[in-house]
Each structure stands twice: as C-alpha cells, then as structure tokens.
A and B are shown apart, each in its own frame.
Chain A
Amino acid sequence: MNREAAAEQFIAALLDDDADELYERAPCGYLSTTPDGVIVKVNQTFLTMSGYTRDDLLGRYFTDLLTAGGKIYHETHYAPMLRMQGKAREIALDVVRADRQRIPVLVNAAVGYDESGEPRVIRTAVFDATERREYERELLRAKQRAEESEARARTLAKTLQQTLIPPTPPSVPGLDVATVYRAAGGGDEVGGDFYDVFQTDHRDWVVVIGDVSGKGVDAAVVTALARYTLRAAALRSPHPADALAMLNEVMIDHETDRYCTVAMLRLREGDGWTASVSAGGHPLPYLLRPGDAPREVGAPGSLIGLLPEARFGDVDVALLPGDALVLYTDGVTEARAGEEFYGAERLEAAILRYAGTAASLAHGVADEALTFQLGVPRDDIAVVVLRVPG
C-alpha cells in the first residue's frame, strides 16, 4: 500500500469514529476526577479493564481503586506532584478490580485549570501494564542479583588481597618495623603489590617487597606464586640474588605472561645488623642514616619473569643504630597529579621529613603519595620500613 492510500484509509477510519466513540473505546482507560480525586467521568475501556459499572465508580475517590500501598504512594508522591507540576507521568500503580484481582497499570495524568488558574479537573489515562510489570520485576530481580554478586566479588577480592600480605603486622625482634598497604581505587579489586617479612634462621630474617604486573584475580595468583617461591628459595640460599634468579625461572616456566619486580633483603643480626640487598626491576630501597641524605642501596637487576638470562646481584650494607631502610613500590613515586609524578625527589624529601620511627616514616611517605593524587590511588602503594633503634 502506498502512502497516499494509507492516509486515505486512516481518514476514512476516523470519519467513522466520532468523538464519543474515540473516548469510550480508546485503547486506554480514561478517568476524570475533581481536584480532590472524586471520579466524575470514566470511559468504557476503563470499565472493561476494571470490571466496575459506571454507577460503581462515579462519585467515588480514585484512591478507592488502589491498593493500600498505592494509596500511600498516591498521597505522598503522586498527588503532590500533580498539584505542584500540573502533571504526572508513568506512575506505576495497581488497580483493584471489582473481583478484587489486581491489575498493574501505568498512569499519566494532567490537571485542567479554570480561567482563574485554579485546578478544575484531573484527567487520567490508565494503561494496562501487566506484562511490562512482570518484565520489570524480572529486571529488578536481576539487578538485585547483580548487586549481590558484586558484593560477593568485593568480599572475594578483599579476602584474596589479605593473603598477599602477612595477616598481622610483621615484627623482627630488635628492629622497629612498620608497613603500609593501600590497594588502588576503591578497594573492589585485588592489587598486584605484595610484601612479606619472615624468619629463616635464629638471627636471620628476610624482607620482600614486590609488584606483579596487572591487577585482578590472575595477578593475585602470580603474586601468591611469587611470595611462596621466595619463601622457599630463601631457605635454600642465603643470597637474595639466588632467590630472585629462582623466582625468574619459576615464572618463565609458569604459563603466565605476567612479570614482576622485587626488592629483597636478607637481614642478619650478629655484631649489629647487616642487610644483603638485591632488586629485580624494582626501585632500590633507601637507606636513611642520621645526619645524611637518603641514598639508594642494593644491587639493581633484571625484571623478573621476562627473560631467561636475567642477572641479579647482592650488596651488603651494615646497619648502624638509627639507620632506617625504606622499601616501597612504584605506586609511591609514580603517583600522579595531572601530568606530574610524585617522583624520587619528593620521596627523598619526605623520608627526611618523616624520619623518627619506622611508623612515622612508613605512614608519612604513603600518606604524602596518597594526598598528592587527591586520596584515590591509581596504583597500589606498599611501603615497608625497618629501623635500627638508637
């Protein structure tokens, strides 16, 4: 059928349909009420929909047709909105039919005013919304399920995160130790940073800090692998460089294509404390000696898990009373404000400024990096500080 023919048919159909017929047989229910809500006019469609006769409805309140919950909604939301805005749209209500069955409806209403601007009539169109409401209920249920599973995912992430760092704040007898860990973002994802402090022998301790590339559950699996590989390796060799080399092999053999960076210390207490320091692709720890500027210590080495021919070394450092070692991940130095990085210079200044206890150093450095990026870390931040009292 061409467009002209369709238009002609449409006009012909309209000619058959007088105004009364249009009103009575409209494809939606019509109700007119006084501003107070007393029904004064109703069309046949609504009578059919609701099962009432015209006599049943004329003179009754529109709210009489609603469920109790709908009545409250009508009085607290719908009626005020009509009064203040002169119209209301797509209000979901249930009409109680003459046979006490309920039909879900969507209601549009508009207020008609007299010459002085006072409300005179409320005209209401009522649409049967049975199927739509069922669909909406399903949507609501799906939304609730989505929210529940999101909450579960958050709990899972949190639990997983807790396995990546020691469950209690680590302590080494004779040393002042402090740690800070802040996962990136709002805490709904597992970060890639980790640290560990453990004892290998009577006067022999290991401190590890690291960063696995990426985030999420996949990264967490690799983080756990790295953490426990280093624990095992530390028992087989006293040299941190050997442990890093072993981790390199394990990660290359593992099917993951992730890599990581690690800084590892072997602490020995003999005639005072010494530390063997090795790093694989990780920022070297800072040594803060009272009266000196902070300086990096340790032997830099390759990224771990990338190439088979990686190289690692050890550097021994004697720790004097008052010395502090600051280990950190790049979440500190690469904290960004706009285009600017927090950077090593600010970090060194912060280390000097917060010198004192291990806790003041660890929290001072982490808080400054956080504040620098307005409190929401883009990357995980981990800081471990060891200090020889004195």
Chain B
Amino acid sequence: MDVVGKYNISESGNPAGQPLLFAHGYGCDQNMWRLLVPRFEDQYRVVLFDYVGAGGSDLSAYDPVRYSSLDAYADDIVEIVEALDLRDVVLVAHSVSSTIGALATIKAPDRFAKLVMVGPSPRYVNDDGYVGGFEQEDIDELLESLESNYLGWSGAMAPVIMGNPERPELGQELTESFCRTDPDIARRFAEVTFRSDNRADLAKVPAPTLVIQCTNDVIAPVTVGEYVRDTIPDATMVLLTATGHCPHLSAPEETAEVIAGFLGRPVAAVR
C-alpha cells in the first residue's frame, strides 16, 4: 500500500512553498481543515491526511494492537513526512493531534520547523494536582455515548466506508458522511486519546510551538493550554475570542491570522 492511499493524503497550494502539514483531531478527518486551508494555499505547500482508521484512510491498515498508543500515530506522521520528503515542516495539529504532533517532532526533530497546537491537552483525566477537566467516569460515559450514536451505523455505512468498487455511487454518500468512521475504530481511538498521558513528553518538544487556546473549551480548558505553554521549552500561547474546541471551523479567520502571525507572514484573504 502506498503512503498516499494509506493516509488519503491530498496536497494543494504552492508546491515550492514551505510544507504546512495539517493533522486532524479525534472524531473527524481532514475535512475539518476545509475553511482554513484556502488561506494558506498561496504561500504554502498544503498537505492534508487522515489517520489510519479515519476518513478515507486505508482501514485495512488499522491494527488495534499497533494503534493502542499515540506513539503509533506519531510514527505515522513521521512516515508521511519522510515518504513525501518534507523538510522545514510546519505541523498544524488539532486536539489530540497536538500531542501526536509533539511526539512526531521529538522522533524526527530535523524535519519540523514549527508546531502549532490547536486546543492541546496532554492528559484529559484529572490527576493529583493536575486538572485535565475530566474524571475517569466521564470517559466511560463518552464511550457509552459513542455506542448509542453508532447504533444505526454499522449496517448502513459499513459498505460505504469500507470502499465498494462495484458501487461507485456510494462515493457520493461518502462525501456526505462527514466525520463518520468505523464505530469500533472510533471507540478504540477515543480510548487511546482520552486515556493518554503525555505530560512528560512536552518538555522534550524541540520545535518552537504555538498553542492556540479557545475561550470556554470544555475539552481543553485554558489552564491546560497554559500548562502546555509553560512545559514546552519554546512555546507561546494565544487565547482566541472564539469559543468551543474547533476554532478552525467556528472562527477560521481569527485562527488563520494567529497562525500566520506565528509563521511571520500575513495570510491571504479569502473571498
């Protein structure tokens, strides 16, 4: 399986520009970047991908044992960067991807110029003296909530997601099946994500890092963003006026401006 197919890699923008690699978070796929990407295509080589198990990735490459830790996902980012021979990469990573991205920059420090973390959290569950925002029971509850929301999924969606070359009309449905994925994989990814604890890795992040923090983010509270900023050796934090956990969807303009400011180049206007 080639790397492009395995991760459903898509490229746009300026092929000669600095690579801007976008890594989606838990729950969705590269579609999440749709509103942000056009603002960078003038100047950057934009690379999008889906993690194995998400979106249009090769689901047959999903191995629950291998993907039982965020490390494997970080290895995958390194694989992508090396396969495309990307250098001087700016990695823009959302949510759990911020942690995965941090691990990737530690694994392959020569490849990455900068790291942008959107709504990072190195540990979601509270610990002695550390407020992640959630209790263990909350995570169990999430997993249950996933189960009830995927009830009607498997039968109807499986042939679409699994790929069905004999029925090309299903491709259309696939584009409409935004954020849908195999419920079993989604549940496992949720477990790996929300039970992860990578606080100790943050101090090893070699790349200059920008933490983009939303106001009233229930998944990654401001105190967590501050913790990340204070623990990564070379990090700054910008607190957006945008709320929620997905500013690249709810406030793409503000998010793009902050990223552009961090990269030292003004961003192209859209529309």
Contact = CB atoms under 8 A, between A and B. Distances in A.
Contact of B219 (A61, A75, A140): A75
B246 A136 contact: no
Contacts of B95: 76
26 contacts: A36-B243, A36-B244, A67-B138, A67-B141, A67-B145, A68-B135, A68-B138, A69-B138, A69-B145, A70-B145, A72-B134, A72-B219, A76-B245, A79-B249, A80-B28, A80-B178, A80-B246, A81-B178, A81-B179, A83-B246, A84-B34, A90-B152, A92-B151, A94-B145, A133-B148, A140-B148
A37 B243 contact: yes
A121 interface: no
A385 interface: no
Contacts of B152: 90
Nearest to B95: A76
A237 interface: no
A72 B149 contact: no
B260 interface: no
A334 to B, nearest CB: 26
Given A68-B142, A69-B142, A77-B27, A92 B244 contact: no
Interface in B2-34: 25-28, 31-32, 34
A83 B151 contact: no
A140 B150 CA distance: 10
B140 interface: yes
A140 B147 CA distance: 8
Interface string A56-81: 00000101000111111111110111
B250 interface: yes
Given A37-B244, A76-B28, A83-B246, A69 B148 contact: no
Contacts of A69: 138-145
Nearest to A68: B138
Given A36-B243, A92-B149, 16 more contacts: A67-B141, A68-B134, A68-B135, A69-B138, A71-B218, A72-B138, A72-B218, A73-B149, A75-B219, A79-B249, A80-B179, A83-B246, A84-B249, A92-B145, A92-B148, A136-B148
A98 interface: no
B188 to A, nearest CB: 15
A46 B140 CA distance: 27
Interface string A22-35: 00000000000001
Contacts of A35: 250
Interface in A77-100: 77, 79-81, 83-85, 90-94
Given A36-B243, A75-B246, A81-B178, A140 B138 contact: no
Contact of A72 (B34, B142, B151): B142
B203 interface: no
B194 interface: yes
A139 interface: yes
A148 to B, nearest CB: 15
B97 to A, nearest CB: 12
A70 B142 CA distance: 6
Interface of B: 25-28, 31-32, 34, 95, 134-135, 137-149, 151-152, 176, 178-179, 194, 216-219, 243-246, 249-250
- 10 tightest A-B contacts by CB? A69-B141, A76-B27, A68-B138, A69-B142, A75-B245, A92-B148, A83-B249, A69-B145, A71-B218, A72-B142
A82 to B, nearest CB: 9
A137 B147 CA distance: 9
Contacts of A37: 243-244
Contacts of B176: 85
Q: How large is the interface on A (under 10, 10 to 19, 20 to 34, 35 or more residues)?
A: 20 to 34
A63 B218 contact: yes
A77 B179 contact: yes
A92 to B, nearest CB: 4
A84 B141 CA distance: 26
A136 B151 contact: yes
B219 A71 contact: yes
Interface string A220-239: 00000000000000000000
Contact of A76 (B25, B34, B134): B25
Nearest to B24: A80
B142 A73 contact: yes
Given A70-B141, A71-B218, A80 B149 contact: no
A37 B216 CA distance: 11
Contact of B146 (A61, A67, A73, A83): A73
Nearest to B134: A68
Contacts of A77: 27-28, 149, 179
A288 B171 CA distance: 53
B145 A93 contact: yes
A75 B178 contact: no
A37 to B, nearest CB: 7
B219 A83 contact: no
Interface string A194-229: 000000000000000000000000000000000000
Nearest to A35: B250
B246 A79 contact: yes
B73 to A, nearest CB: 16
Contacts of A36: 243-244, 250
A104 B176 CA distance: 27
Contacts of B144: 69
